[in-house]
Amino acid sequence: MRAQDLQSWFADYGREHPDDVLALAAPVRADGVLTAVVDELERSGRSPVVHAPGVDGGVDVPVLTNVFASRERIARMLGVGQDELHAEYARRQDQALAPVRVDDGAVLASVRAGDDVDLSRLPLLRHFASDLGPYITSGVVVADDPETGVGNLSYHRATPAGRARLALSLHSRGDLWRMLRRHEREGTRMPVAMVIGAHPLFHLAASARAAESVDERHIAGGLLGEPLRVVATPVHGIEVPADAEIVVEGTIDPADDAAEGPFGEFSGYSSDRSTRDVLEIDAVLMRRSPMLLSVTGGRSADHLTLGRLPREADVVTTLRGRFPQIVRVHYPASGTHFHAYVAVDQLRRGEARQIATALLGWDPYLKTVVTVDADIDVTRDADVLWAMAVHMQPERDIFVVGGLPGSALDPSADPQGTTSRLAIDATRTQPFTAAPIEISAEARRRAAALLADAAGGLR
């Protein structure tokens, strides 16, 4: 059996790609220092996995962050190049495998229940000075639908609200929110478990755009290439990864609430929009020597790519079935979750507009879609902005649709989360006679040699 835990993945990855790991020499303070480290790395154009040996003033647990900041690293997890990333993610997602229940797992090494539960024993980090307090940012909530029995994985930020209480927000209004409403109608509490750290492919599966009838634990098996090994939590029998780092289990009472937020969200603003739900913890499960997986919050690539990549893969596979003209889709970090760039190979005028309209209607988070020609690199903001500058005429190539539901975390939306959406057609008009400038292959070869010599002289 292959290892399915975070620590084994990190050890293997560090051996294979030591240049993509930044190991800090000393424990970090829990007051935003790790967030600042990742921010400084991003400003310098770097995105390594960051490892800290511990947390000052807290439990002596190593911390891993920035795992999902690099598309190249995620492609390596799936054994493909970056150009194949979307297709491979979609292929593995379609080859979902049901989990396998095992009797024992590393996460059961330590089980604290009842009065022995104390959140102060967990390694928790504050991410931004404006946050309400320390937050769990990698927490995947696992729940089973009370009517269908189908499981669901979803991310929800969480902060301590007492010795055995976590305040969290279900602001996505997704499957977990609908499950809780069913429990509310029945007058019951919803049993859940929160997984804090597992194999990175489990965490990617939790971000999948899946129908309510699909259990993301099956998708995790597809991504791993073998069934996810799970154990049942001791109190509520919820199936969680057997080799997870930390798991808390308990119940959510639809009638309970607690202060939650503000928290530094993907919009780049501190958000206190929250459903104010409460997870009452019945038990805490932990490996013998756990590691804390922290997803750096805010506008970080770690945060954005984790949620964005499965969405892009879904767009490419779903929309390309209807629009084979789609060449590439990219959600740029500069636009958080609100912008998408689409490279198209349109056969006739108007197809790019049709594709933009379809995407704006399909993804409720999107506010702006820019379509460009197939030769434009949509992974580079500068190239897309250039295409807008020289191919787009505002009165002809821009249109707006208003009054649509958007993200509850969009600071520009109205109180109900309603937004308008913008499509920009930055493809070339037909006929287009201007010839692009060119640099010959020979000139580029000579330039590369000159630069290599210059770099050698600097050493």
- The CATH label, of 3.30.70.1170, 3.40.50.720, 3.40.1670.10, 3.60.21.10, for the domain at 323-425 is 3.40.1670.10
237-254: average pLDDT? 96
Question: How would residue 297 be classed by pLDDT, with cut points 50, 70 and 90?
Answer: confident
Q: What is the DSSP letter of 29?
A: P
Q: 240: how many CB neighbours lie within 10 A of its CB? A: 27
Q: Is the pLDDT of residue 451 over 80?
A: yes
**Burial of 199 (C-beta count, 10 Å sphere; 0-12/13-18/19+):** buried
Q: 359: how many CB neighbours lie within 10 A of its CB? A: 22
Q: Report how far residue 198's alpha carbon sits from residue 246's, in angstroms, rounded to the nearest whole number.
A: 8
Torsion of CA 124, 157, 163, 231, to 10 degrees: -90
DSSP string over 69-109: S-HHHHHHHTTS-GGGHHHHHHHHHHT----EE-S--GGGS
| Residue 370 · residue 388 · CB < 8 Å | yes
Q: Report how far residue 142's alpha carbon sits from residue 123's, in angstroms, rounded to the nearest whole number.
A: 21
Question: How would residue 172 be classed by pLDDT, with cut points 50, 70 and 90?
Answer: low
Q: Report how far residue 445's alpha carbon sits from residue 455's, in angstroms, rounded to the nearest whole number.
A: 15
Q: Is the pLDDT of residue 57 over 80?
A: no
Q: Is the pLDDT of residue 457 over 60?
A: no
Task: Write down the pLDDT at residue 361.
Answer: 87
Task: Write down the pLDDT at residue 316.
Answer: 82
| Residue 362 · residue 342 · CB < 8 Å | no
255-284: average pLDDT? 85
Q: Is the pLDDT of residue 305 over 70?
A: yes
Q: Report how far residue 209's alpha carbon sits from residue 175's, in angstroms, rounded to the nearest whole number.
A: 11
405-415: average pLDDT? 77
For residue 175, is it left (φ>0), alpha (ψ between -120 and 50) or beta? Answer: alpha
Residue that wins the pLDDT comparison between 61 and 239 = 239
Residue that wins the pLDDT comparison between 406 and 381 = 381
287-304: average pLDDT? 88
Structure tokens at 380: 């580079």
DSSP string over 413-429: S-TT-EEEEEEEE-SPP
Question: How would residue 228 be classed by pLDDT, with cut points 50, 70 and 90?
Answer: very high
Beta pairing class for 339-344 and 326-330 = antiparallel
Q: Report how far residue 160's alpha carbon sits from residue 124's, in angstroms, rounded to the nearest whole number.
A: 9
49-60: average pLDDT? 81
Q: Report how far residue 359's alpha carbon sits from residue 355's, in angstroms, rounded to the nearest whole number.
A: 6
Q: Is the pLDDT of residue 286 over 60?
A: yes
- Which residues contact residue 251 at a Cβ distance below 8 angstroms, ignoring those fewer than 6 apart? 189, 190, 191, 192, 236, 279, 280, 282
Q: Report how far residue 203's alpha carbon sits from residue 306's, in angstroms, rounded to the nearest whole number.
A: 8
For the chain, what are the domain ranges? 83-295, 323-425
| Residue 229 · residue 241 · CB < 8 Å | yes
Question: How would residue 212 be classed by pLDDT, with cut points 50, 70 and 90?
Answer: confident
Torsion of CA 172, 173, 179, 181, to 10 degrees: 140
Task: Write down the pLDDT at residue 320.
Answer: 85
Task: Write down the pLDDT at residue 294.
Answer: 93
Q: Is the pLDDT of residue 58 over 80?
A: no
Q: Report how far residue 380's alpha carbon sits from residue 332's, in angstroms, rounded to the nearest whole number.
A: 8
Question: How would residue 314 be classed by pLDDT, with cut points 50, 70 and 90?
Answer: confident
| Residue 193 bridge partners (DSSP) | 142, 249
Q: Is the pLDDT of residue 45 over 80?
A: yes
Question: How would residue 456 be classed by pLDDT, with cut points 50, 70 and 90?
Answer: low
| Residue 120 · residue 163 · CB < 8 Å | yes
Alpha helices in 213-324 (DSSP H): 216-224, 301-322
Residue that wins the pLDDT comparison between 141 and 312 = 141
User: What is the Cα 449 distance to its own chain's centre?
Assistant: 40
Q: Is the pLDDT of residue 393 over 80?
A: yes
Structure tokens at 254: 């639809």
Average pLDDT of the chain to the nearest whole number: 90
83-295: CATH class: mainly beta
